[in-house]
Amino acid sequence: METSIVLTAIELVELSGYRKPSAQARWLERNGFPFVMGGDGQPKVLRQAVEGRLGGKLGEKKREPQLRLRSGQQPLQRLSTLRGLSCRMMFSTK
């Protein structure tokens, strides 16, 4: 499921603490969040604005562990390669 570019109605209630769109708009204005009023009467707040303001970072990649080998060591073969090798060895007729 893809995340919307604007906050959902539920997220807006969680952020502002208010259910009424007019109260949400007042809260957003008082707290310096940029927004526009949609044709449906609901405030539209960019997710990026909220995440940036609250310290979240968009597109932040999870750090992957880095493999550090000692001098002269080679990484092991992929597990799928090793599995195939072991199967061939078990079923060989030699």
Bigger pLDDT: 47 vs 75: 47
Residue appearing with tokens 């078990």? 90
Q: Locate 70 and state its tokens.
A: 């000692």
pLDDT of residue 49: 94
| pLDDT(65) > 70 | yes
DSSP label at 34? -
Q: State pLDDT tens for residues 12-24.
A: 999 999 999 999 9
Angle, helices 21-30 vs 9-16, to 10°: value is 50
Using DSSP's 3-state secondary structure scheme, residue 13 falls into helix
pLDDT of residue 32: 95
Provide the residue ranges of all domains of the chain, joining segments of one domain with +: 9-53
Using DSSP's 3-state secondary structure scheme, residue 76 falls into coil
